[in-house]
């Protein structure tokens, strides 16, 4: 059988489901030849293209493959690679970047507060540190003058957070209350990550516990802010578990296109909000409440109806609480937020003005029907204007064919071709992930064919976020079919994103992926002769 006709990797993935396997945590599968020798391992002088976007979950694996002095676990010391990434995952990485980042976004909410010499504090646990810092600050890594970041460690004693849906929320709430009671803190922003993080795991009971933990702690911190005389805002960055089922009844563990809540806890009872808005309207609303002029760059508008805006003195203290993943849905069986006990949210919505905000698609710089995500959500909350996502720019490049002339891609492919080395394409395999799309992989496979690459090896990362159950096998088969169509490329490794896309320095996970890529360690899948 021709290697381009076989579906051995996709069939092996499908077979793993019968033994309780799952895409997200799939252990590495490695294609081997008739002598059990791994096929398509990353070797000295090879070219690698990591085609994921977003970037925060891609840094660690990239470091392990490119840094000469990498020391988190044993690596090959003489493995110089021609390595390209789709976007800039982190400054200083030894890689070529195909789509460099736009300039840092100026005049964000945090920068504006800093310019007015106000002290601000951002509090969350490690799972969402990059969102509350880097993305909310307009892709700026360094805190602004007067900005403090408090990052509570995420638990390391559980494999997945459905084992502990409360995560570290009590410690986050405690740190928040301490800052609420510190009058020198003018602006406090807290993110409760539980609903989003646990919502990506197919465990309804755990999701309900996560929702109820967030509701409980929300009541504690908001009541403390009210006692301290602070104006408070409750919002979210995107939806997740308010649409727990796909139309066919399968569980949806991904993000959604739902609107999100916006609740204004203010002591002026006549204050009224617009009926709807977008995440870009949050920063202008905060600045109005704090009596700070909105920068010209902010195109969002305050959510407060101007006819109801009272002549009040503002004490320049405001608390913003982001309930990560808390969408607004209907009352059907698939709305786990409605199914949970949320007395605090119910109480606050009945007592204070509230509205709904668009948090997906074009409202957050994505394609019109695209679900929201934490990156775009926090970026737009902080920027107060629309920022188009990397995937939008990449897709435009594919449409106008400029993608196939990208200098970074050409450089690594041509270097490998000159030296008779292989090309490796690795990344997420999905149509829905905010980390990337199978369409990008297909474009790279076509480009490799055009450039005359003979050895093209594909390393697929599977995830169950926004996908139907067992979709990983479907996607791997699509890649195998694309390779057959092009008569170029082979799927030689498959692994769950749990192991390959870590961002919390769980180096044992990254080491498992590294050893699959370089050493060929994993469950052997024999090629067909």
**Phi and psi for 266 in degrees, rounded to 5?**
-140, 150
**CA atoms of 225 and 318, how far apart (whole Å):** 9
Rounded to whole angstroms, what are the CA distances from 524 to 34, 497, 521? 11, 19, 8
Predicted local distance difference test score (pLDDT) of residue 362: 92
Which two structure tokens, joined as six digits, stand for 461? Answer: 């990362």
Complete DSSP assignment for 169-195:
HHHHHHHHHHHHT-TT--EEEEEE-HH
Summarize the confidence of residues 291-316 as an average pLDDT: 87
**Closest-CA residue to 328 (of 318, 320, 336):** 336
Mean pLDDT of the chain: 93
**Closest-CA residue to 224 (of 191, 260, 175):** 175
CATH number at residue 346: 3.40.720.10
Q: Are residues 373 and 516 in the same domain?
A: no
Please write the tens of the pLDDT for every residue from 419-450.
999 999 999 997 666 777 899 999 999 999 99
**Phi and psi for 366 in degrees, rounded to 5?**
-110, 175
Least confident of 22-36, 353-367, 387-401, 512-526: 387-401
Instruction: Report helix angle 374-383 to 282-289, nearest 10.
Output: 40
Summarize the confidence of residues 302-325 as an average pLDDT: 87
- DSSP structure class, residue 34: T
Predicted local distance difference test score (pLDDT) of residue 166: 97
- For residues 398 and 441, the answer to whether their CB atoms sit within 8 Å is no
Least confident of 6-15, 148-157, 310-319, 361-370: 310-319
234: three-class secondary structure by DSSP: strand
Summarize the confidence of residues 343-364 as an average pLDDT: 96
Residue 308 has pLDDT above 60, yes or no: yes
Residues shown for the chain:
529
389: three-class secondary structure by DSSP: coil
**CA atoms of 416 and 420, how far apart (whole Å):** 6
Q: Are residues 369 and 497 in the same domain?
A: no
Summarize the confidence of residues 345-358 as an average pLDDT: 97
DSSP β-ladder status, 318-323 and 187-192: parallel
> Angle CA(372)–CA(376)–CA(378) in degrees, nearest 5?
110
Which two structure tokens, joined as six digits, stand for 317? Answer: 């203290």
- Distant-in-sequence, close-in-space partners of 205: CB < 8 Å, separation ≥ 6: none
Predicted local distance difference test score (pLDDT) of residue 466: 60
Residue 187 has pLDDT above 70, yes or no: yes
Q: Are residues 142 and 220 in the same domain?
A: yes
From 386, 409, 443, give the residue that closes a domain: 386
Q: Are residues 323 and 235 in the same domain?
A: yes
Q: Are residues 382 and 401 in the same domain?
A: no
Q: Tell me, yes or no, whether 430 lies in a domain.
A: yes
Predicted local distance difference test score (pLDDT) of residue 78: 82
**Phi and psi for 342 in degrees, rounded to 5?**
-130, 60
- DSSP structure class, residue 256: B
From 386, 405, 429, give the residue that closes a domain: 386
**Phi and psi for 60 in degrees, rounded to 5?**
-65, -45
Please write the tens of the pLDDT for every residue from 369-386.
889 999 999 999 999 999
**CA atoms of 497 and 236, how far apart (whole Å):** 25
Q: Are residues 337 and 268 in the same domain?
A: yes
**CA atoms of 35 and 18, how far apart (whole Å):** 27
Q: Are residues 333 and 423 in the same domain?
A: no
Q: Are residues 192 and 336 in the same domain?
A: yes
Summarize the confidence of residues 328-333 as an average pLDDT: 86
Q: Are residues 86 and 170 in the same domain?
A: no
- For residues 315 and 293, the answer to whether their CB atoms sit within 8 Å is no
From 356, 386, 416, give the residue that closes a domain: 386
Q: Tell me, yes or no, whether 77 lies in a domain.
A: yes
**Closest-CA residue to 498 (of 1, 159, 150, 110):** 159
Predicted local distance difference test score (pLDDT) of residue 55: 79
- For residues 391 and 437, the answer to whether their CB atoms sit within 8 Å is yes
Please write the tens of the pLDDT for every residue from 6-58.
899 999 999 999 888 889 999 999 999 999 999 999 999 999 999 998 778 99
Alpha helices in 55-125 (DSSP H): 59-66, 109-115
- For residues 40 and 457, the answer to whether their CB atoms sit within 8 Å is yes
Predicted local distance difference test score (pLDDT) of residue 312: 65
524: three-class secondary structure by DSSP: strand
> Angle CA(337)–CA(342)–CA(347) in degrees, nearest 5?
130
Predicted local distance difference test score (pLDDT) of residue 315: 64
Q: Tell me, yes or no, whether 75 lies in a domain.
A: yes
Q: Are residues 270 and 327 in the same domain?
A: yes
Predicted local distance difference test score (pLDDT) of residue 390: 82
**CA atoms of 392 and 394, how far apart (whole Å):** 5
State what percent of residues in the chain have pLDDT above 90: 81
11: three-class secondary structure by DSSP: helix
Q: Are residues 378 and 407 in the same domain?
A: no
Please write the tens of the pLDDT for every residue from 80-108.
999 999 999 998 999 999 999 777 899 99
Complete DSSP assignment for 259-278:
-EEEEEE-S-TT--B-SEEE
Please write the tens of the pLDDT for every residue from 109-152.
999 999 999 999 999 999 999 999 999 999 998 999 999 999 99
Rounded to whole angstroms, what are the CA distances from 180 to 17, 319, 450? 48, 8, 60
**CA atoms of 243 and 330, how far apart (whole Å):** 8
CATH number at residue 420: 3.40.1450.10
Predicted local distance difference test score (pLDDT) of residue 143: 97
Q: Tell me, yes or no, whether 297 lies in a domain.
A: no
- For residues 300 and 283, the answer to whether their CB atoms sit within 8 Å is yes
40, 44, 45, 49: CA torsion to nearest 10: 50
State what percent of residues in the chain have pLDDT above 70: 97
Q: Are residues 69 and 96 in the same domain?
A: yes
Residue 465 has pLDDT above 70, yes or no: no
Summarize the confidence of residues 68-84 as an average pLDDT: 93
Q: Tell me, yes or no, whether 341 lies in a domain.
A: yes
**Environment class of residue 275 by beta-carbon count within 10 Å: exposed (0-12), middle (13-18) or buried (19+)?**
exposed
Summarize the confidence of residues 153-177 as an average pLDDT: 94
**Phi and psi for 406 in degrees, rounded to 5?**
-65, 130
| pTM for this entry | 0.70
Complete DSSP assignment for 337-362:
HHHS--HHHHHHHHHS-EEEEE-SGG
Segment holding 48, helix H or strand E? strand 47-50
- For residues 12 and 472, the answer to whether their CB atoms sit within 8 Å is no
Residue 484 has pLDDT above 70, yes or no: yes
> Angle CA(380)–CA(120)–CA(100) in degrees, nearest 5?
40
Predicted local distance difference test score (pLDDT) of residue 313: 62
Task: Provide the residue range defining the domain that includes 62.
Answer: 8-100+392-526
- For residues 517 and 42, the answer to whether their CB atoms sit within 8 Å is yes
Q: How many structural domains comprise the chain? A: 2
- Distant-in-sequence, close-in-space partners of 357: CB < 8 Å, separation ≥ 6: 235, 259, 260, 261, 262, 276, 277, 278, 279, 281, 282, 303
- Distant-in-sequence, close-in-space partners of 483: CB < 8 Å, separation ≥ 6: 4, 445, 458, 489, 490, 491
Q: Tell me, yes or no, whether 304 lies in a domain.
A: no
**Environment class of residue 485 by beta-carbon count within 10 Å: exposed (0-12), middle (13-18) or buried (19+)?**
middle
């Amino acid at each position: 059988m021709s290697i381009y006709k076989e579906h051995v990797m996709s069939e092996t993935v499908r077979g793993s489901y019968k033994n309780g396997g799952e895409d997200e945590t799939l252990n590495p599968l490695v294609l081997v030849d008739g002598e059990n020798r791994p096929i398509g391992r990353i070797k000295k002088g090879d070219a690698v293209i990591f085609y994921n976007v977003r970037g925060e979950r891609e840094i660690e694996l990239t470091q392990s493959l490119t840094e000469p002095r990498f020391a988190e676990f044993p690596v090959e010391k003489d493995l110089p690679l021609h390595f390209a990434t789709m976007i800039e995952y982190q400054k200083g990485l030894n890689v070529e970047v195909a789509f460099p980042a736009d300039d840092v976004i100026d005049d964000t909410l945090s920068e504006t507060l800093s310019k007015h010499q106000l002290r601000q504090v951002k509090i969350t646990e490690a799972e969402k540190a990059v969102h509350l810092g880097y993305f909310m600050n307009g892709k700026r890594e360094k805190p602004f003058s007067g900005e403090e970041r408090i990052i509570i460690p995420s638990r390391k004693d559980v494999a997945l957070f459905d084992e502990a849906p409360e995560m570290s929320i009590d410690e986050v709430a405690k740190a928040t209350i301490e800052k609420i009671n510190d009058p020198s803190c003018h602006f406090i922003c807290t993110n409760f990550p539980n609903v989003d993080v646990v919502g990506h795991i197919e465990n309804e009971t755990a999701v309900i516990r996560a929702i109820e933990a967030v509701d409980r702690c929300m009541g504690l911190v908001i009541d403390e802010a009210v006692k301290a005389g602070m104006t408070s805002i409750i919002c979210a960055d995107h939806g997740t578990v308010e649409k727990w089922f796909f139309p066919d009844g399968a569980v949806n563990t991904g993000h959604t296109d739902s609107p999100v809540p916006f609740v204004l806890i203010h002591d002026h009872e006549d204050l009224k909000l617009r009926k709807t808005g977008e995440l870009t309207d949050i920063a202008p609303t905060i600045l109005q409440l704090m009596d700070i002029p909105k920068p010209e760059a902010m195109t969002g508008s305050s959510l407060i109806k101007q006819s109801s805006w009272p002549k009040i003195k503002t004490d320049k203290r405001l608390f913003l609480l982001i309930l990560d993943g808390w969408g607004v849905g209907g009352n059907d069986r698939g709305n786990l937020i409605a199914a949970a006990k949320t007395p605090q949210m119910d109480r606050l919505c009945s007592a204070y003005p509230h509205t709904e905000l668009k948090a997906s698609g074009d409202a957050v710089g994505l394609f019109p029907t695209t679900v929201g995500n934490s990156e775009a959500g926090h970026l737009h909350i902080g920027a107060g204007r629309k920022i188009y996502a990397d995937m939008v720019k990449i897709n435009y490049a594919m449409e106008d064919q400029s993608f196939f002339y990208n200098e970074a891609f050409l450089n690594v492919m041509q270097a490998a071709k000159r030296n008779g080395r292989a090309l490796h394409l690795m990344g997420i395999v999905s149509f829905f992930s905010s980390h990337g799309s199978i369409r990008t992989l297909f474009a790279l496979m076509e480009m490799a064919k055009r450039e005359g690459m003979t050895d093209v090896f594909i390393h697929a990362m599977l995830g169950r976020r926004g996908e139907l159950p067992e979709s990983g096998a479907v996607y791997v088969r699509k890649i195998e079919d694309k390779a057959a169509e092009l008569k170029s490329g082979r799927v030689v490794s498959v692994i769950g994103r749990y192991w390959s896309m870590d961002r919390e320095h769980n180096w044992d996970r990254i080491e498992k992926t590294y050893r699959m890529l370089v050493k060929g360690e994993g469950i052997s899948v024999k090629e067909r002769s």
